[in-house]
Amino acid sequence: MTDIAAAPRRDAALTALFRHARYVIAENPVTGFAFALFVLIVLAAILGPNIVPYNPLSSDTAQALKPPSAHHWFGTDQLGRDVFSRVIVATRLDFFIAVASVALVFLMGGLAGVAAGFFGGWTDRIVGRIADTIMAFPLFVLAMGIVAALGNTVQNIVLATAIVNFPLYARIARAEANVRREAGFVEAARLSGNSDWRILAFQILPNVFPILVVQMSLTMGYAILNAAGLSFIGLGVRPPTPEWGIMVAEGAAFMVSGEWWNAFFPGLALMVAVFCFNLLGDGLRDMVDPRRRT
């Protein structure tokens, strides 16, 4: 297959995808709204530090705990830092954690699941046992345990989130691989001499991807909540790094005495981001499999 022949096919597929996406968005404006919001979040993540009015780390104790005003849209925290700037800059870290966790769990869970579904036998049994063992724990508690054991770093938070979501992805991937095991294109690949692993990686996994994409959007929301929760109890990112969860934790004490903006705005950002990912997941599900609409 030369690239020249492949290119128009790719373009045709892409146009079809866009047309379908446009149709779904027209049918359900909420999905369109979620998509627009998603783009905004990505922009904030990428451009954050460059567009904010204040340095998120520079403290100015004279300005500590000032309520929202024209100068400081979200007010200032207990060290005089501008809350708005910190919230926007934190987008990058939280978004990164979300994307990294989801990518990792897709690879880990997706590969393990398709291997289990494709090979069956011992592979299936082992993957199943691992998944069952993980699911025997309340998920946040397990994440706590993992980060506590391995240490408070962003890598460990991402790893913990991926491990905790592993069973779900493995299960979905396994079911899809099972169905496709006997499919025509798999037979064709086998006959043309591809090894099992190549088939798995290049034929089956890409086919499983669309179904997992819906789950991945929902997992991004969960990953952010997980990271924020861990940060809230001190197991997450360390201060003074701006991260939504830590900011809520630091602001919590002041909430009780009336300085609400400290914790409110990062919490609101958390909610908006997770809400956006959930809506996006629902919209993606409508696109991929309209039968499962709730």
Partner 1 sequence: MLTMILKRAAMAIPSLIGVVIVTFLLTRALPGDPAAYFAGPAATPQAIQEVRVKLGLDKPLIEQFGRYVVDLGHGNLGNSLTTGQPVLTELRTRLPASAELTLLGLLVSIVIAVPLGILAATRPNSLIDHACRLITTLGVSLPVFFTGLILVYVFYYLLGWAPAPLGRLDVFFDPPPQVTGFYLIDSLIARQPETFVASLKQLILPALTLGIFSLAPIARMTRASMLAVLSSDFVRTARASGLSSFTVIVTYAFRNAMLPVITTLGMVFSFLLGANVLVEKVFAWPGIGSYAVEALLASDFAPVQGFVLTMAVMYVALNLLIDVLYGLIDPRVRLEA
CB nearer to partner 1: pick between 90 and 208: 90
Provide the token pair at 185: 């294109």
Question: Per rule CB under 8 A, is residue 29 in the interface with partner 1?
Answer: no
Residue with structure tokens 């146009």?
Answer: 15
261, burial (CB in 10 Å: exposed 0-12, middle 13-18, buried 19+): buried
Cβ distance to partner 1 smaller for residue 117 or 221:
221
Rule CB under 8 A: choose which of 64, 142, 201, 211 binds partner 1: 142
Residues 224-243 that bind partner 1 (CB under 8 A): 225, 228-229, 232-235
| Span interacting with partner 1, options 20-28, 127-135, 194-202, 204-212, rule CB under 8 A | 127-135
Q: Is 2 helix (H, G, I), strand (E, B) or coil?
A: coil
Taking the least distance from each CB to partner 1, the nearer of 54 and 286 is 286
Contact assessment for residue 274 and residue 224, using Cβ atoms and an 8 Å cutoff: yes
Residue 61: count other Cβ atoms within 10 Å of its Cβ. Answer: 11
Among residues 38, 100, 65, the alpha carbon closest in space to that of 255 is found at 65
Asked if residue 145 binds partner 1 (CB under 8 A), the reply is: yes
Residues 158/104, Cβ–Cβ less than 8 Å:
yes
Q: Residue from 137, 208, 217, 289 that binds partner 1 (CB under 8 A)? A: 137
Q: Which of residues 69-108 bind partner 1 (CB under 8 A)?
A: none
> Measuring CA to CA, how many Å separate 120 from each of 45, 113, 126, 130, 279?
42, 10, 10, 15, 35
Question: Alpha-carbon dihedral of residues 189, 195, 200, 206, nearest 10 degrees?
Answer: -50
| Of 173 and 220, CB closest to partner 1 | 220
- Asked if 119 interacts with partner 1 (CB under 8 A), we say no
Quick one: 48 or 267, whose CB is closer to partner 1? 267
Least distance between partner 1 and beta carbon 291 (Å): 14
Distance between CA atoms of 274 and 264, rounded to whole angstroms? 15
**Percentages of the chain per state (helix, strand, coil), in multiples of 5:** 80, 0, 20
> Is position 257 an interface residue for partner 1 (rule: CB under 8 A)?
yes
260 binds partner 1, rule: CB under 8 A? yes
Whether omega for the bond prior to residue 240 falls within 30 degrees of 0, making it cis, is yes
Looking at the Cβ atoms of 9 and 129, the one nearer to partner 1 is: 129
Q: Which is nearer to partner 1, 62 or 256 (CB)?
A: 256
Decide: is 157 part of the binding site for partner 1 (CB under 8 A): no
> Is there binding between residue 267 and partner 1 (CB under 8 A)?
yes
Which stretches of the chain bind partner 1, using CB under 8 A?
Answer: 129, 132-133, 136-146, 148-151, 221, 225, 228-229, 232-235, 245, 248-249, 252, 255-258, 260, 263-264, 267, 270-271, 274-275, 278-279, 294
